[in-house]
Structure 1
């Protein structure tokens, strides 16, 4: 699940990065129903910053 999360974040639009809620919904569509809190925990474990910090202008 962490690898999929990392891949989704790598492929996201950097001008409009995905929130933890949106990431949870994408994982749910792929067959991994996990909570937003769990996405946040995995994101932190992978040293991926929150959406507002990933935003590039």
Structure 2
């Protein structure tokens, strides 16, 4: 599932709202270990562009 969500997030990264929606969906669907891996990957790949969204989504 982690790889699936990585693919989805990459594909929707052009749209801020869609990216946040899919990220929140991924966080709910994944197990805690996978969420940590997703967090690392997101900050690496989208940290510059979507840092406030990432911080908000992963804070909870």
Question: One fold, TM greater than 0.5?
Answer: no
TM-score scaled to structure 2, two decimals? 0.40
**More contact order relative to length (CA 8 Å, sep ≥ 6):** 1
